[in-house]
Amino acid sequence: MRSFCSRRSCAIGILVTAVTSFTFAAERGMTPRDVSGLDYVGSALMSPDGSRIAYTLSRPQNPFRDYAEFEAGYEDGGPKTELHVMNVADGSSTAYMTSGSFGGLKWTPDGSALSFTAKRGDDENRCLYVLRLSGGEAQRVLAHETDIGDYSWHPGGRSVAFIAGPKDDKKKKEMEKKGFMAEVYEEELHNHSVWIGELSDGFNPHRKLDIDGNVLSVDWSPQGDRLLTKVSPTPLIDDEYMATRIRIVSPETGEVLTRIENPGKLGSVEWSPDGQNVAMISAADINDPAEGRLMVVSSNGGEMRDLIPNYAGHVKAIAWDGDNTIKFLGDEGCESVFGEVDIDGTGLKKIVDTGGPILESLSLSKVGDAAAFVATSPTHYRELFTMKHGDAAPKRMTITNPWLSEIEFGEQSVVKYNARDGMELEGILIKPVNHEPGTRVPCIVCVHGGPEAHESNGWQTHYSRPGQVAAAKGFAVFYPNYRGSTGRGVEFSKLSQGRYGLEEFDDVVDGVDHLVSIGLVDKDRVGITGGSYGGYASAWGATALTEHFAASVMFVGISEQFSKFGTTDIPNEMHLVHSRTWPWKDVEMFRRSSPIAYAEQARTPILIMHGKADTRVHPSQSMVLYRYLKTIGKVPVRLVFYPGEGHGNRKAGARLDYNMRMMRWMEQYLAPGNHRNDPPPPHELDYGLPEKKKNDKKEGDDAAAA
């Protein structure tokens, strides 16, 4: 059994039954520094025979290391990923890779090894590697003239189907060196294709299949006679979202054998073991904002069948258990379920009902008698869970952050309330740590994005989500599932379409009013925050609904709907599942639903933060709101850009900075005695990072001399 002895990473692979051996006394609440140090299980793959689980462990970059390490080679960036393999029988775990970067983790067909894509050593591009668990270094088995993307093993293990793009144009590169670097917007994109490669350490000739469009994924049939592909018309994100369709093709010629015209957004797609059927997570129709219907269709084509019609939830993961049964994970309200259904629509049952950990991913053994999950709870982030046939519930297998045993958590629960029109709604509430009943407290409302997303009763603390960090500072935190959220079926998720800023955000206010009515929240000390569509809600709360919120923190949010439509990379998705009309068709709706239309009435101090490389919500959305409010001059406003970051922060430094600024802004304007018109806190931050001592150089020279 392998363990790690640092404070942040100990007991990887320890069985959950051993958790009771930890006897740390709860000592303190959570801090931004804690959030920056959360390790987590990224993915989990059950071996074909069910005896082992391969899982990835993500470790964020640590800016708090001592200065010598910091200066010696710390580089800001995203999390580092490790590869571990667990023996299911005894819970022991072995680390196989703890450095480098890799992706595309899969078991080889015989289950004796793991494969992955990586750029290692002198590789010029991402290649395919195989790591045999019997020992030795990973071996390169497939190289290509460009990066290998998604791939699939032939069931016999003799070849691999993979996706790759074309080589760079050498002439274009030469011209760029001479200063000719003009970019022709959206016209210099290249489709990705399917290639068939034979295993070799070097560059064997690979055979390209001519398939129209941009191939996103590829999967051999269990019999090795066909390829299941997901294809979009172009590489544009909008096409990938709204126009990805299924094509079953010949591995010899690329000829399309079966066209499956799923009606809208498309999620996971899986062959049945006998190759006769294809299961998928699909949208119900082109206007369905999120794929969440479990559908099956013959691999020879025909009518798609919804196996759980009118499901008042959303399916998020599927796996075949034999030729006639599909196991699935579903989001139902603020909870998750593990269930199964036969391909004729009968036999629907819940194996694991609501009320347990929030199950986020599913992997089955070949015969379906063992499952691996990644799951969260209110007191732990993503961990590895397993379940065997006959078990009553999934069993937690990892403890990646044992120091969480030292943390005092605010009580977390699901709350139900009625909107002003009588509709019953749900949300997640975190009370302050050691809250005294009857005491009114400040509250931060955290609004999720999408809006085709939802809040679950699992882990709720992230760099951009205040959660337990705010609870430790005396705040209640409320996460509403307003109308338009997923987890309650297609009809509910469509309720906000064409109605930007109306009932959806009234639902948020009604949730706060409920918390006020039960004696928990001080109505004069309520803040609002969120990212993307939640950032839109934060801008709306600071302008159109300014009387309800004493502080706002807007992240990668929308402030002006006309230019949002003209600068985003998903205009068709916006039209089909959000606005349901075009800006030039309903000018008044787009004007009315823009927060800047209410800038003059704004009285809510707002901190605006945005990644400068965001293509989903252009940074100009934040600039416009900032400039309007700054020019009007009636409310404190600050704008912070993050260079190199997109629609959300990836790097450790930017994440820590965001979390600290968000919390400081809320404390500044929601603390007792503070006022909306108080000046903003200083723009500088003290990150508490290690500093080099003045005598470090002298001590180093003395050591060298000795």
Query: Given this model, what pLDDT does residue 563 score?
Result: 95
Encode pLDDT of 62-112 as tens digits: 777 654 555 555 678 888 999 999 999 999 999 999 888 899 999 999 999
For 179-233, the DSSP string reads T-----TTTS----EEEEEE--SS----EEE--SSEEEEEEE-TTSS-EEEEEES
Encode pLDDT of 409-430 as tens digits: 999 999 999 999 999 999 999 9
d(CA 266, CA 5): 43
Kindly indicate the confidence band of residue 24, based on its pLDDT and cuts at 50, 70 and 90: very low
Encode pLDDT of 472-486 as tens digits: 999 999 999 999 999
Q: What's the rounded mean pLDDT across residues 588-609?
A: 98
Q: What's the rounded mean pLDDT across residues 199-203?
A: 69
Q: Are 463 and 470 a contacting pair, CB within 8 Å?
A: no
Q: Find the helix or strand (DSSP H, E) in which 523 lies.
A: strand 521-531
Helix ranges (DSSP H) in 379-502:
467-472, 490-493
Kindly indicate the confidence band of residue 344, based on its pLDDT and cuts at 50, 70 and 90: very high
Residues with Cβ within 8 Å of residue 233, at least 6 apart in sequence: 213, 214, 239, 243
Give the single-character DSSP code of 548: G
d(CA 376, CA 681): 35
Residue whose structure tokens are 């400081």: 664
Kindly indicate the confidence band of residue 2, based on its pLDDT and cuts at 50, 70 and 90: very low
Query: Given this model, what pLDDT does residue 114 score?
Result: 97
d(CA 618, CA 533): 13
Kindly indicate the confidence band of residue 58, based on its pLDDT and cuts at 50, 70 and 90: very high
Query: Given this model, what pLDDT does residue 673 score?
Result: 85
Q: What's the rounded mean pLDDT across residues 510-526?
A: 98
Angle (deg, nearest 10), helices 503-517 and 533-542: 70
d(CA 573, CA 561): 14
d(CA 444, CA 269): 39
- CA 692 vs CA 88, 248, 696, 699: distances in Å: 46, 60, 7, 12
Query: Given this model, what pLDDT does residue 363 score?
Result: 98
Instruction: Note the Cα 551 to chain centre separation in Å.
Output: 26
Taken in order of first residue, the domains within the chain and their CATH numbers are 409-670 (3.40.50.1820)
Encode pLDDT of 115-161 as tens digits: 999 999 999 999 999 999 988 899 999 999 999 999 999 999 989 99
d(CA 345, CA 594): 44
Give the single-character DSSP code of 547: G
105-124 burial by CB neighbour count: b if 16+ within 10 A, else e? bbbbbebebbbbbbeeeeee
Smallest CA-to-CA distance from 221 within 210, 213, 229 is with 229
Whether 338 shows a pLDDT value over 90: the answer reads yes
d(CA 23, CA 496): 48
d(CA 42, CA 375): 10
- pLDDT above 90 coverage of the chain, percent: 85
Encode pLDDT of 607-656 as tens digits: 999 999 999 999 999 999 999 999 999 999 999 999 999 999 999 999 99
Kindly indicate the confidence band of residue 179, based on its pLDDT and cuts at 50, 70 and 90: very high
Sheet holding 113-118, edge to edge: 103-107, 113-118, 127-132, 139-142
| Residue 323 identity (one-letter amino acid) | D
Whether 187 shows a pLDDT value over 80: the answer reads yes
Query: Given this model, what pLDDT does residue 202 score?
Result: 61
**3-class DSSP state of 577:** helix
d(CA 578, CA 568): 13
Q: What is the mean pLDDT of the chain?
A: 91
Whether 441 shows a pLDDT value over 60: the answer reads yes
Query: Given this model, what pLDDT does residue 694 score?
Result: 53
Q: What's the rounded mean pLDDT across residues 219-231?
A: 98
Whether 17 shows a pLDDT value over 90: the answer reads no
Q: Are 215 and 231 a contacting pair, CB within 8 Å?
A: yes
Query: Given this model, what pLDDT does residue 170 score?
Result: 85
Query: Given this model, what pLDDT does residue 76 score?
Result: 82
Sheet holding 380-388, edge to edge: 358-364, 370-377, 380-388, 395-396
